[in-house]
Chains A and B, each alone.
With several copies, the nearest count.
Chain A
């Protein structure tokens, strides 16, 4: 497994290259990449704050749970902080498993937990000002399926 909490931009394609590949026990690899979206055409940047120390600790616990629950061959989580441009990658999850259903479920589990249980906070910076992104009830609800 690999976990990286970083300020630097990354290339999801380069990260996926070789992930879970060339081994006889992996039948499926799933990846999710989150990107900075601008719904209103006014977003200048997304600023992400996090809790150094707790972030890595919380993500490690989630990934370890996913690996044991879905018997993953490998798992990857990259999450950025700092100032991010529109269209840039925010974070990425990848899972490798014997079967596709396990790889999909584990990736969705990690996404749901990263959304609501990893200590990141997003702030939208627009020409009109800055505002903290509110957590959605639906994201908290999503945890109940696991």
Chain B
């Protein structure tokens, strides 16, 4: 089981802020494909992954990053702090 977190408009499109999922995806990109196939809400959220950022256990990562050992995966739009 891995925790998925969504922020900002990704949270709004997916409809939840946090969920736990069972997955055998080996990379972030694989997981995103799995989610998109599962429900139109995910397909809408991940329609354009060029505007989606990902953090693995609270560190920014690439979509090609492996998921082995990761407990918390967060998806969000480009950050707008400051």
Binding site for B on A (CB under 8 A): 34, 49-51, 53-54, 57-58, 79, 90-91, 100, 111, 114-123, 132-135, 140
Contacts and interface: CB of A to CB of B under 8 A. Distances in A.
B79 A116 contact: yes
A23 to B, nearest CB: 19
B42 interface: no
Contact of B58 (A50, A53, A115, A117): A53
B58 A57 contact: yes
B7 interface: yes
Interface of B: 5, 7-9, 11, 55, 58-60, 74, 76-82
A115 B81 contact: yes
Contacts, number: 72
A122 B59 CA distance: 20
B68 to A, nearest CB: 20
Nearest to B9: A132
Contact of B81 (A57, A119, A123, A134): A119
Nearest to B12: A132
Given A34-B82, A121-B77, A132-B9, 7 more contacts: A54-B59, A79-B81, A114-B82, A115-B79, A119-B74, A120-B81, A122-B81
Q: Which of B58, B77, B80 has the most CB of A within 10 A?
A: B80
A133 B8 CA distance: 10
B79 A135 contact: yes
B7 A51 contact: yes
Contacts of B59: 54, 57
Contacts of B5: 51
B8 to A, nearest CB: 4
Contact of B7 (A100, A115, A119): A119
Nearest to A91: B82
A62 B41 CA distance: 34
Nearest to A123: B8
A112 B76 CA distance: 19
A121 B76 contact: yes
Contacts of A118: 79, 81-82
